[in-house]
Amino acid sequence: MRSVRHRTAAVDGHEIFYREAGPADAPVIVLLHGYPTSSFMFRELIPLLADSYHVIAPDHLGFGHSAAPLVDEFTYTFDALAELTSGLLEQLGLDRYALYVQDYGAPIGWRLALRHPERISALVTQNGNGYEDGFVESFWTDVWAYGENPGPATEPAVRAALGLDAIRRQYLHGVPDPSLVSPDTWEHDFALVSRKGNDEIQLALFRDYRNNRPLYPLLHEFLRTSEVPVLAVWGRNDEIFGPDGARAFARDAKDAEVHLIDGGHFLLESHLEVVAGCLRGFLGRVLG
């Protein structure tokens, strides 16, 4: 098993933490995490890839072990998070890589792909949305309302997502055997979200999420013109991004694999070996 290095880089004056493993001369895969977690979500996947791939998994600003400047010190948007991620990859000298995106990692990854399409060797989406088809209305209604009209009437519904019960639900909902999911996951995430001032960081990103939707047609055009291979491996019981979001990638990607697994939003916690098997098979086929 390959060792995992835990590193920090200064990007535009901000400390960005990242995990790194695998041979430096191997094909690169960049793992981009979602809300409310960090590169911690990839802790068990990284060693399963590192024998054949150079793996980089950063924590977004405001998450995990990266710096978390307060909202009056940094304007938290998905554009800004993508800019920092791009800066990190350039600092590391990575000019060709596959992207693995989940949840928030998806709009960040789509921006990287649209900014430098020539750098993307493959796309892997694990419950990382890129289509209107993927939004589960019962979850997103409150988010859209808050983004359109932030204030005391709309904030309580989204602020509830910062609570321990809501974070636990994200991990357990749709998982056939919840005993497979370690409580360490939601306790770890809740502790970091509960840091002083982090609630305002998360609310800023909730407000900005609506600005990801106009990227979708650009993403679809990129998929059609670049013919980049795509793997969608998805927890089909996800109450945030439904399985139609996974199927939709086959509309535009010429080379698309879609696997719907009997799991939830954080599929790696209950189906690590299944996801790793799909991923290694796909990467082996398209990257060699």
Residues designated as active site: 265
**One-letter identity of residue 155:** E
Structure token pair of residue 1? 């098993």
Burial (CB count <10 Å: 0-12, 13-18, 19+), residue 145: middle
Four-point Cα dihedral 64, 272, 270, 32, nearest 10: 30
Burial (CB count <10 Å: 0-12, 13-18, 19+), residue 61: buried
Helix H or strand E segment including 15: strand 14-21
What is the side-by-side order of every strand in the sheet holding 14-21?
4-11, 14-21, 54-58, 28-32, 97-101, 120-125, 230-235, 256-261
